[in-house]
Chain A
Amino acid sequence: GAVVSQHPSWVICKSGTSVKIECRSLDFQATTMFWYRQFPKQSLMLMATSNEGSKATYEQGVEKDKFLINHASLTLSTLTVTSAHPEDSSFYICSASPLSREAFEQFFGPGTRLTVL
């Protein structure tokens, strides 16, 4: 149980285009989903927290107009990187907290590797 999927697993795009990443909880409902970014050989950096039906909360220094987050249902959250640039190239990982568990347990998706040319 507690499986989280992400799509796509990797994407290459041209500078200036937008990319959408989906995060789904497959066998549970998630009160909260989190979006992280991870650069090579570094730790996970939290970008934003999203709750179903409400606006996402962004961490300091993360541009909310560049990284659009939509949490449309208890099983789906999307991250759209708008007008992507090479410096946005990174490994993006989502996580989800099950409704049925205590709020702080998080299960991670497999990640999406974004390369912006």
Chain B
Amino acid sequence: GENVEQHPSTLSVQEGDSAVIKCTYSDSASNYFPWYKQELGKRPQLIIDIRSNVGEKKDQRIAVTLNKTAKHFSLHITETQPEDSAVYFCAASPPSLGGKLIFGQGTELSVKP
């Protein structure tokens, strides 16, 4: 079945710097890759997603890139701010699982002012 690996598990950056989180997946049929931001004790919130027919998507300071050949996708946050501090989860959705999301292990991002 699908397996998603996420790195790094923790990431500390200075305010204004960029942050990159990477995920790899195992099922080449996966066709949907969302990224969620979860603040402590709160719900995961969808921040950006990408489908397998697109290589890159950008929304203001956030971008996601997808390399289907290598089976990895990355989240890029530019000009980081302290409020970006949270745990970020990537996920993959193989069609065979009927809409289920397989989550990565999470990355705790800390943005220091």
Q: Are B43 and A111 in touch, CB under 8 angstroms?
A: yes
Residues of B within 8 A of A105 (CB): 32, 34, 46, 49
Q: Are A103 and B99 in touch, CB under 8 angstroms?
A: yes
Main secondary structure of the interface of A (DSSP, over half): loop
Which range contains the number of B residues in contact with the other chain?
20 to 34
Chain B min CB distance to A39 (Å) = 12
Q: Are A34 and B42 in touch, CB under 8 angstroms?
A: no
Main secondary structure of the interface of B (DSSP, over half): loop
Residues of B within 8 A of A111 (CB): 41-43
Segment with Cβ contacts to A, from B14-22, B69-77, B100-108: B100-108
Report which of A49, A104, A107 forms a contact with B93, defined as CB distance below 8 A.
Answer: A104
State the B residues within 8 Å of A (CB).
Answer: 31-32, 34, 36, 41-46, 49, 89, 93, 98-101, 103-106, 108
State the A residues within 8 Å of B (CB).
Answer: 32, 34, 41-44, 46, 49, 91, 93, 97, 102-111, 113
